[in-house]
Structure 1
Amino acid sequence: MKKNKETEYFPAGLIINAAVLIGGIAFYFFPLKNAFPCMFKEITNIPCPTCGGTRLYYNLLDLNLLKAFFYNPLIFLILIFLVIYSIHDILVLFRTIQPLNFNKNYFRYIILGLIILNWIYLIIMDI
């Protein structure tokens, strides 16, 4: 059977958000007593682009949103994006709206730029 790209839609946002939610629930019920140190920071003494993520999640669980944001702004913004993207996926699946059509190359450059800016922030703040 031939697939029609116009009617076929993969709900990536919902799937990723479900995985993050399951991970968050597991993180809440089974907290890491002694989190693993960042090997990149241990070797280079420079924080990696995801440093502060564990502290971010603990602060999110305590609803300290501002503190969570400052531990790693990029991860915080990605989590907000995932919620919005999941809502988009639900609306697309119920055929309320059409899927977004964006230039993936521009999206890649934007993501790369945000990762670099976040990394600079983490280095300056010594997270």
Structure 2
Amino acid sequence: MGTILNSLSRNKLYILLAVACLVGYSWLFFNYRSGTETNPDGSGVCIFKEVTHIPCPSCGSTRSAISLLHGNMTDALYWNPIGFLLGIILVVVPLWLLFDVVFQKDSFFRFYKKSEATLEQKKVAVPLIILVLANWIWNIFKAL
């Protein structure tokens, strides 16, 4: 089983991740400064929720990450545990990429390849899918 990212070279992967992190930082900055995750007309930013009126598994992730920035761990967990993962990614990935670029290494690329191979195993993928589904059910129950 392969993915589109499986064919990416080290440099293309690093550029993609750097841009994704930059977009993530920009999104958090915009929402942190405005104090809202909805548009002025009251509509949200989640296309899935706008169409189905059901929150997606990642709904609340922005509020979770902003709660983390405020040091509110309990609120962050309530809004969406995925926010913790996003926070870790937004801190670790840019530093790791910078390390690899400065020291001409490929440690993150090797980690990515190993992680991808691990995630393709049923014994790993199925429990992770169950966790995402459980989080989704919780989001629906909370009516995010």
- Bin of the TM-score, shorter chain as denominator length: 0.5 to 0.7
Q: Quick one: which of 77, 83, 89 aligns to 2:85?
A: 77
Give percent identity, aligned residues only.
21
Could you tell me the TM-score, scaled by structure 1's length?
Answer: 0.66
CA deviation map 1:53-109 (0-9, x unaligned)? 243244234321232123211232133123212111001100164333124343356
Tell me the equivalent position of 1:26: 30
Structure 1 counterpart of 2:133, which letter?
W
Distance 1:40-1:76 versus aligned 2 partners, 3 A rule: farther
Q: Unmatched 5+ residue regions in structure 1?
A: 1-6
Assess if the C-alpha contact under 8 Å between 1:13 and 1:82 holds in 2.
no
**Cα deviation digits, residues 12-49 of structure 1 (max 9, x gap):** 3332221111111111223336452833662xxx5421
Unaligned runs of 5+ in 2: 1-8
Task: Give the whole-Å Cα distance in 2 for the aligned partners of 1:89 and 1:55.
Answer: 26
Partner of 1:117: 131
- Worse-superposed segment, 61-70 or 31-40: 31-40
Residue identity in the other structure for 2:50: M
State which of 8, 11, 17 in structure 2 corresponds to 1:9. 11
The answer on 1:99 being equivalent to 2:107 is yes
Q: Is the 8 A contact 2:65 2:83 kept in 1?
A: no
Aligned CA-pair RMSD: 3.2
Structure 2 letter corresponding to 1:107: L
Inter-partner Cα distance in structure 2 for 1:21 and 1:14: 10
Structure with more relative contact order (C-alpha pairs < 8 Å, separation 6 or more)? 1
Report the TM-score when normalising by structure 2: 0.60
